[in-house]
Structure 1
Amino acid sequence: MEQTTKRQTAAYELTRVFDAPRERVWAAWTDPERFSRWFGLRMLATPVGRITLDAWPGGVWRATLVGEEGFEVTLDGTYREVTAPERLVFTTGDPDHPGEGPASVVTIEFKAVAGRTEMRFHQYGVNTDQQHAEQARAGWMEFFDRLAEHVGDDPPGLTLRGG
């Protein structure tokens, strides 16, 4: 008989409206150069050369955040759904086989609203307690503050590309 381990799970949702068209916000999630400008806490850098965004179902995403004194942390996962510029679903870690570590599924929906973008972000974690989920939520909120600054900085007429 196979023994199963009880996993803790937690989920949360964030909704944010960006003063930018949906295609610009989508590009910030799917273009490595744009992604490098906002992904991570302010005290960390995410060098474009340390980012992989293969934005198609089954493709890999990976970003290494670097800080002072040689600090590095790599986050990665797999895209499950990619519907430009409306929806991204990706994993962090492997939620189907997480082992002992936390893993999650992120679903992001982008809705155009009068030239702006409403982004609905949902994260469901396995091997994740509520305290870890709240820490992740606070981190994403800072990421999204940086994202708002980034998408607001693009000059009019800039060509956008994305998955």
Structure 2
Amino acid sequence: MDTRKQFTITREFAAPREAVWRAWTDPAIAAQWWHPHEVVTPPASVRIDLRVGGTYEYLMIAPDGSEYPTGGQYLEVDEPSRLRFSWADPGDTVEEAMLITIDLAELDGGRCAMTFHLQGVDEDRVSATSVSQGWAEAFEELDDALASAAGEAVAR
């Protein structure tokens, strides 16, 4: 039995489910939000091979210049409702990787409900609280990315 920590974050976005799906799967949009506040993800660092068995990778750069490469493998791809994938540092074994499941549901009014579940936090390496806080901040960045994408679509 896996005794590592897990948590769930639920969010609603003022965007259709397809837009939220695209934010998870389009490298240009992902680069805008795959990081907590004050951290950047260079667009050129984001690579996504969206298929079961495909991989993704990206680099986060902290304000002090510290670099945090990460990535994983897609385990389930059910567009536009579910993504399941590993999330790990380079060199981590499959057993060390965390597992993320994203469920997206269409709501009335062109909104989307997202359930984000992460399991496998090894608190000897990083606290569940810091991982949860980082993702909560990333989802605030996602709000901004979705608003920006909606504004660009209206301008076209």
Paired residue for 2:99? 105
On the 8 A contact 2:6/2:121 being kept in 1, the answer is: no
Q: What is the number of equivalent residue pairs in this alignment?
A: 149
SS at match of 1:154: helix
Residue in structure 2 matched with residue 3 of structure 1 by the alignment = none
- Give the structure 2 partner of residue 52 of structure 1: 47
Closer, same or farther in 2 for the Cα pair 1:141/1:69, shift >3 Å?
Answer: closer
Task: Tell me: CA distance 1:153–1:134, structure 2 relative to 1, closer, same or farther (3 Å).
Answer: same
Q: Is the 8 A contact 1:13 1:122 kept in 2?
A: yes
> Take 1:46 and 1:111, find their aligned partners in 2: how far apart are those partners?
27
Q: C-alpha distance in 1, partners of 2:119/2:107? A: 26
1:36-115 matched pairs, under 5 angstroms: 36-93=31-88, 96-98=94-96, 103-114=97-108, 115=110
Report the TM-score when normalising by structure 1.
0.83
In structure 1, the residue matched to 2:19 is 24
CA–CA distance in structure 2, aligned partners of residues 121 and 32 of structure 1: 19
| 2: CA distance, partners of 1:133 / 1:69 | 23
Q: Which of 112, 120, 125 is the equivalent residue of 2:120?
A: 125
CA offsets 1:1-39 (integer angstroms, 9 cap, x no match): xxxxx9641111010000000011111110000001111
Q: Deviations over 1:23-57 (max 9, x none)?
A: 11111110000001111022111011001111111
Gap runs ≥5 in structure 1: 1-5, 159-163
- In structure 2, relative to structure 1, the CA distance for the partners of 1:45 and 1:157 (3 Å cut) is closer
State the structure with more CA Rg: 1
- 2:51 is paired with a residue whose SS is coil
| Unmatched 5+ stretches in structure 2 | none
Query: In 1, distance between residues paired with 2:93 and 2:129?
Result: 18
Measured on the aligned residues, the alpha-carbon RMSD in Å equals 2.2
Q: What TM-score comes out, normalization by structure 2 length? A: 0.86
